Amino acid sequence: MYCAIDFGTSNSAIAVPDVTRGMRLVELEPGHTTMPTAVFYFVDGPELDGPPRAFGRAAIAAYVDGLDGRLMRSMKSILGSPLIDQTTDVGGGRGAKYLDIVAGYLKHLKGRAEVQAGAPIRRAVLGRPVFFVDDDPVRDAQAQAALESAARQVGFDELSFQYEPIAAAFDYESSVEAEQIVLVADIGGGTSDFSVVRVGPQHAAKRERKDDILANHGVHLAGTDFDRRVALAAILPEYGFGAMGPSVAGAPAREVPSGVYYDLATWHLINTVYSPGRAAELRGMRGFYGEARHYERLMIVIEERLGHELAARAEAAKIAVAEGGETRIDLSHTEYRLGVDFSEREAVQAIESDIERIVDAARAAVAQAGLKPVQIDALYFTGGSTGLRLLASRIAAAFPTAHVVRGDRFASVATGLALHAQRWFSA
């Protein structure tokens, strides 16, 4: 028995052999084969096989509900940093090494896979980025070594690594009859990554594929940044963002303080606005608002802890207009019949600068490979944010002769790793 693990920055997945389908993705949560890469450590609770924890969507729900504890996300980014061997406070007088946090998450994935496979799993292929750490081969090697250490700690004896852009390209590679140059666009929640990859029948059988990655480049801009722009452009003005205060003694009116709105639009900062000190400060700011209704709506959000709900509605609005058209953002949970109309055109205006930076990163990746845009044979899109029609079309427009291919936005890397695992362990 063996498996393939996509340990992602935002989401993770694991695949195991299947007698009818060759390989299949494991259902990690009811109805889901991918799971947020998140762990929540509870302050209170019994220690059963480690500190009291929740994983995936349950971890995020515990954080959003305001339970006492600490949420750990983006653990992959810790690999290769000096933090990996350090201990951090997880509440309740407990401490945990960052390496053990990663290992605990991998153990949870492994356990779910073993239950569904009906057998122990000791062998694995793990995905890895082309560079865990840019321009530092020593730290990059340390990052892979740390991930390998965490995997061995939870019972994997035989390990192999494969590059994520190569894995993403496997689905396309199986259908091509001659060598091609593919630009893999992996745009998820936190980063937009581009890899120029050589694929073809003569390459598919090779066990080592690093030489087939001609270039890799990316920017830390993606889906969560789009959500933030949508919240600030469409939703938070209804709560006072960008509004003007009263005119005092004939002086020109000034814009209301904006810090709280930027925090409400940034997922991991939302809980900070609920702290007693911050809430008390906001209660004393009534005089800053020219429109009483803006202040009243904002205080409902703060006092009823509705920030994450607003963020979720921003994300839903982005998805609703992703393929064109418009939607109505319902905000009646803060005021009866309150809502705003939102269109694809407004979404474009909100994220235009981000889109341009992402397209520039795609061009830069091709230039680093020493190629011109017309030399790209195919564009392979994966990652949840490639569902945004405008973004994908703008990238495609930069490479007008390339054939556009859409992989599974959420599981193509995991599926590609599964194909590689099947070849690797069968060999």
Q: Is residue 273 a contact partner of residue 306, using CB atoms and an 8 Å limit?
A: no
pTM for the complete prediction?
0.82
User: Domain for residue 119, yes or no?
Assistant: no
pLDDT of residue 355: 93
User: Domain for residue 382, yes or no?
Assistant: no
pLDDT of residue 152: 97
User: Domain for residue 240, yes or no?
Assistant: yes
- Tell me how far CA of residue 46 lies from CA of 12, 27, 43, 154, 178, in angstroms: 27, 27, 10, 21, 58
- The pLDDT > 70 percentage for the chain reads 100
pLDDT of residue 374: 97
pLDDT of residue 404: 95
User: Domain for residue 305, yes or no?
Assistant: yes
User: Domain for residue 273, yes or no?
Assistant: yes
Q: Strand pairing of 378-382 and 403-406?
A: parallel
Handedness of CA 371, 374, 378, 379 (dihedral sign): positive
Residue 240 and residue 244: Cα distance in Å, rounded? Answer: 8
pLDDT of residue 366: 97
User: Domain for residue 199, yes or no?
Assistant: no
130 token code pair = 């082309």
User: Domain for residue 254, yes or no?
Assistant: yes
User: Domain for residue 27, yes or no?
Assistant: no
Domain that holds residue 254: 224-348
Q: Where are the alpha helices (DSSP H) in 7-97?
A: 56-64
Residue 324 and residue 302: Cα distance in Å, rounded? Answer: 33
Domain count, the chain: 1
Residues of the chain where predicted confidence (pLDDT) is lower than 50: none
* HEC sequence for 315-377: HHHHHHCCCCCEEEEECCCCCCCCEEEEEHHHHHHHHHHHHHHHHHHHHHHHHHCCCCHHHCC
Read off the pLDDT of residues 134-168 as tens digits, 9 standing for 90 and up: 778 899 899 999 999 999 999 999 999 988 988 88
- The pLDDT > 90 percentage for the chain reads 62
Among 96, 114, 115, 86, CA closest to 2: 114
Handedness of CA 403, 358, 262, 76 (dihedral sign): positive
